[in-house]
Structure 1
Amino acid sequence: MIVERRAATAVLAAALLLTAGCSSDGTWPPEGGASASASAPAASAPAPEQTAEATPPAKGSVKVLRTVATGLNSPWGLAPLPGGGGLLVSSRDEATITRIDESSGAKTELGKVPGVEAAGEGGLLGIALSPDYASDRMVYAYFTSASDNRIVRMLYDPKKPAGRQLGSPDTVFKGIPKGFVHNGGRIAFGPDKMLYAGTGESGDTGLSQDKESLGGKILRLTPEGEPAPGNPFPDSPVYSLGHRNVQGLAWDDKQRLFASEFGQDTWDELNAIRPGADYGWPTVEGRAGKAGFQDPVAQWPTDQASPSGIAYAEGSVWMAGLRGQRLWRIPLKGTEESAPPQAFLEGEYGRLRTVVSAGGDKLWLVTSNTDGRGKPKKGDDRVLELRVS
């Protein structure tokens, strides 16, 4: 069901209960908070907790096992099909979804998503499989339309001819502010089978704290697009606020949610997300120790990161850097950084957009050199398979 119809009132109700940053990935205005003292309202979704647990080693490793596929244009989202059935990859600018064979690298276009208007940082962005994909074969997508950013779902039928394997999109949520920059775009189903979406403030810094805006938030929805049961604010899709541009969402092995965020001029961030918490933008950027705002787990100068996708593996969060052109490892103990972040692949593959768990100690990594800000080399863009520790 489309939720845009009551988004403004829902967010208003949410924000009234509150007491109460991301870096550009390049040449356009940037697309990166501080320690939380305020307690978050109770929610049914798993909240980060401080627990005694094993600490990963201070130093890790990354080995590129192989190049899975080359020749991709403006790839953005990646969703692995179950059972080694292939990798679905979205093209931001072409508005297509392509299946990549994991063994041969062969590409098959599923189809073009109608209604996408690609411009600047907008277009066809994140994709995710339904938590009931085995029975419903639904693919969810977040994209920029002529009027807003929205989430749709489409039936994927691999038995149909290439280019016609996507059914008509069913809009489940709309009304997210759009802009030339800061459209957010990452979507993922959590361990609770609810749909999470990272949004941006579309270049309007006031929206992150705006009581009537869905911009600069993390949203938590049912698969049908309704505010998820147990959200911190009654009848609201808002899960957290005070974000600048969220493009990375991942859960650790304790079901705790982390998010990457672009800062403006000073600090990019990795945040541990608590329901109902305020992450400070535009009041603070990076660690500020300011009451009422949540400090990030880790932070980076904006030229070293501009983080997009994140994934969890081997006790660490792995974060893809666009402007920074490197893969960051952030070893965790509890919800805190247990050792300084460690950089890998610096400058070797250019801009890095998306990283997704491939199970165990393996990751899928997607480059982003054909997005208008990179310097494409022969074979760009590509999907890599990594082994990490």
Structure 2
Amino acid sequence: MIVQRRAVTAFLAAAVLVVTAGCSSDDGGGEAGDGASATPSGTRSGASPSGRATEEGAPPAKGSVEVVRTVAEGLDSPWGLAPLPGGGLLVSSRDEGTILLVDEETGEKTELGEVPGVSAAGEGGLLGIAVSPEYASDHMVYAYFTSGSDNRIVRMLYNPDKPEGAQLGAPDTILRSIPKGTNHNGGRLAFGPDKMLYASTGERYEGQLAQDEESLGGKILRMTPDGEPAPGNPFEDSPVYSLGHRNVQGLAWDGEQRLWASEFGQSTWDELNLIEPGGNYGWPDAEGEAGESGFVDPVEQWEVAEASPSGIAFAEGSVWMAGLRGERLWRIPLKGTETSADPQAFLTGEYGRLRTVVSAGGDKLWLTTSETDGRGSPEGGDDKILELRVK
């Protein structure tokens, strides 16, 4: 196994603190590696008693993962997962174009409705979902999906008092004209600590879109809840927050409100990046660490057979990264803007392809499997939501 730690340059750390075709598509193709964990290089100095990373300390070099229970099963191509503030998990089905409400205690599933306009094909369909930071007052659910002509972001009113299957209001499109393709549609949605909406987009196998500041493809976008370019964005009157991305599908913030993103490589390196406002992450001119002026190198990189990463979450001082082709959950312990020990792989091959991981608070994570999305070969069951305890 090859896992290499890469430090972010000093200018990246400062900038982030101020603001806060190829063979690898969705799964990387071919056979996954053996899944053995990387050998930790030893506990770093300054580990906090709680094991949670701070600017002064780091989590333990070695962690652990316990599968507490299966929350729900029988899911069809689950892609996005968003906890509701009052309880319950919203789950988007990429291929069905529907959103389910899953009771996290009983596993009971309720269909809220089908999102109109979804055109599912290849890696496209109903992808990321997010809940408004003002959900208590506006009850808005956001979704990223592939239509017949583009990828777009919509918001819908969720009304649980309406009949099952009719609880989603008509979609209000807040951003359209994101390039679509059979593959490389990005799709992750998340509200940041600044209450701005972030979205990851792919370059639909046209690498130069990632370097085109005028294109929405191959980017991380930052916008207001109404879809307008967010105040303080690096490019005037543009939602573009960072560029030079091939196909980002994971977004998460650490305890210091820094944004991290996971990215599919082509055939050599998958990446974990610390996102700098206005940063250029190199694609298609660089894959993995390039050491070239003007490009931001990844903090970590993996061979594509070991990762092909989708969702990420931050918990207990580490980034947790779900692997599709790699069929494993990676723990990447952090100290500030660098990793503090070698990444570890967990659940290797036990649950097949892993798609989305979301913090459930404290030392808990929600994790979805991704075997029924046209690439996996499920044996003995459909996709699941798992509850994990991690450290």
TM-score (norm 1): 0.88
2:28–2:305: 8 Å Cα contact kept in structure 1? Answer: no
1:374 alignment partner, SS class: coil
Distance 2:250 2:367 in 1: 13
| Structure 2 residue aligned with 1:336 | 338
What amino acid sits opposite 1:265 in the alignment?
Answer: S
Written as runs of structure 1 = structure 2, the 5 A alignment for 1:164-243 is 164-243=166-245
What amino acid sits opposite 2:84 in the alignment?
Answer: L
| Structure 2 residue aligned with 1:138 | 140
Distance 1:142 1:28 in 2: 25
2:62 aligned with 1:59: yes
| Structure 2 residue aligned with 1:14 | none
| Structure 2 residue aligned with 1:316 | 318
String of CA shifts for 1:243-300, please: whole Å, max 9, x gaps: 0001000000100000000000000000000100000000010011111100111110
Distance 1:52 1:108 in 2: 42
The correspondence for 1:76, drawn from 71, 76, 79, is 79
2:244–2:282: 8 Å Cα contact kept in structure 1? Answer: yes
2:305 alignment partner, SS class: helix
2:156 aligned with 1:154: yes
2:26–2:183: 8 Å Cα contact kept in structure 1? Answer: no
Write out the 4+ residue segments of structure 1 that deviate beyond 4 Å after TM superposition.
none
2:196–2:225: 8 Å Cα contact kept in structure 1? Answer: yes
Distance 2:132 2:66 in 1: 31
Unaligned runs of 5+ in 1: 1-20, 30-50
Of residues 69-78 and 333-342 in structure 1, the stretch that sits farther from structure 2 once superposed is 333-342
What amino acid sits opposite 1:213 in the alignment?
Answer: S
Written as runs of structure 1 = structure 2, the 5 A alignment for 1:1-389 is 23-26=24-27, 52-83=55-86, 85-389=87-391
Deviation at 1:22, TM superposition (A): 10
2:26–2:123: 8 Å Cα contact kept in structure 1? Answer: no
Distance 1:147 1:128 in 2: 22
| Structure 1 residue aligned with 2:3 | none
What amino acid sits opposite 1:347 in the alignment?
Answer: G
String of CA shifts for 1:331-383, please: whole Å, max 9, x gaps: 00111111111000000000000000000000000000001110112232000
2:26–2:184: 8 Å Cα contact kept in structure 1? Answer: no
Deviation at 1:145, TM superposition (A): 0.3
String of CA shifts for 1:38-63, please: whole Å, max 9, x gaps: xxxxxxxxxxxxx8421111100000
Distance 1:80 1:200 in 2: 25
What amino acid sits opposite 1:284 in the alignment?
Answer: A
Distance 1:296 1:26 in 2: 20
CA RMSD across the alignment: 1.6
How many percent of aligned residue pairs carry the same amino acid? 77
Unaligned runs of 5+ in 2: 1-21, 31-53
2:28–2:308: 8 Å Cα contact kept in structure 1? Answer: no
Distance 1:109 1:22 in 2: 35
Distance 2:279 2:329 in 1: 27
1:82 alignment partner, SS class: coil
String of CA shifts for 1:216-250, please: whole Å, max 9, x gaps: 00000000000000101111111000000010000
String of CA shifts for 1:2-34, please: whole Å, max 9, x gaps: xxxxxxxxxxxxxxxxxxx994333779xxxxx
Distance 2:306 2:183 in 1: 20
What amino acid sits opposite 2:58 in the alignment?
Answer: T
Distance 1:291 1:137 in 2: 45
